[in-house]
A and B are shown apart, each in its own frame.
Chain A
């Protein structure tokens, strides 16, 4: 047998990119189930549709780019993007909305920048932000919690956007949206007058808790480090807590912020995207904390009910700068101030 001539190390752990991606997908399952429980089949239909689209687009672009298709498809990164988009889009998203979001995420945000590892922006967030700006009505048709559509109704809505009796009976503003427009009422009065708010808050709290469980699982598996999610949640909690203490009538509490909207999904599945976030431990802390701060600012003062897509895209822009200034001190450089740039 001819002897191999290879560089050290000659041994390798069983760690693989596809394994990381698979764990990420698995960790979304509790959230997915919770979301389906509260909002019906929409998310599941969306998920299957988004996965099919993502893999197809990925294969197509790899073929156009003359790259080997199988090894790249099998890394699972396209599926992660599809999952994140399907979970973030409203359950009442029609087929074309998901189509546009996935197309933009995979083709434009990912492959036009050079494919996995080279994209400066989180692909799912680019797709999401595009739809949010281009199709604001569809993007805010969030399913109600009182009466969910059955599978047939959901299927019909998904393809035709027609609904006997109209969709209005089934949609509902999200709690964050409600709280942003209190119509002159304090939050307590709002909760008293609008029973939907309480129900919505309960639903999103359950969903967020489910994502938290999945995220903690990934943390336990050391798929990512704790720095970015903890920093993000801490900064969001701290800001909302401080403002709530100051004006409880205007600002929702820290727990409402942390357990509503896409907080936990973002904290454990989007902020932790390694490709587009800062890379050193200190950098991840700064990155996460800044996302939390931006989320609070946009939620409280911005024009959109939830803020993760914009907060994360903004911080994606800042990640290289953060990296430049957060280089850790290497072994033997402890006494050396010049090393810290």
Chain B
């Protein structure tokens, strides 16, 4: 009796062990179906979009990191030629996706797009319409919506080829640089996600920062200047850096930067540092006429002066505040004038109306360009000066 029981138990134990063994084998010998090992991947940091020289299809350029070169910078002893830490590749095809796949004709490793940070778009492509060019980047699962979008008049390869300054790879440098836009607030960095959000708002026009190369001591370097205005999905014109900041004031995106103007009644200039700003935009519709009220509030401090007068008195502060408000108002008006000229609602007045008075928006959206141009805009700027820095008056007055 007990013996039979024992045998049964032993058989059960065997059975259990066998299952456990099978489980172990399953866990430790299985792999992913479509695994991709790091050494078989070409990690792309930046991509560029251009038309093919013939005109029909797209030419996509890639900046691919050479990971080995990044790991050991400066180890070029032994006479070996030091390679740049990246490789620039061009590839073309009738659509963006095909162009990207065609890159495998040249690249021994498959391109991996998930880590790409910037997408530099040639202006000619942007003039023709961005929707067909950007569809792949939105649809495919590999590129991320956090991609920074940029415009350039040159071949995007030129941008990647330019010196990256203190960084190893220029795409990385561009991405870092865009994230400190608030030091001047004269660039408006735009991620792919933001672009898609605005374009789906229908009436709102997009803006993208413009990048170009400059010559510096025989070396090429990249440089940001101004903003492209994208109406619908087509590039229609540009804003200069001051107008760009005018736009940022309205959007409430000025989070720093400096502002310089002549000191009222004195000879010389004062430069103020902007600490924070906020804005409120209200859009009202009366009898199909649009009335926009923009209120901007700014806090700033005195950062630099070239006059010999003491600007630290409350009386002078008052004057500086008034003057600063006027200058900011001027910047906003400059941006508004350009936007009216292009008929592009870069400020998102339409989006404001869409959210708060949807019926009016539905009535006016079809002819928004005209309504936007004819809108009356009231700008109120309230500037407050709060700091002096470490000194009161200039050393010699």
Whether chains A and B associate is no
- Tell me the B residues contacting A by CB distance below 8 Å: none
- Tell me the A residues contacting B by CB distance below 8 Å: none
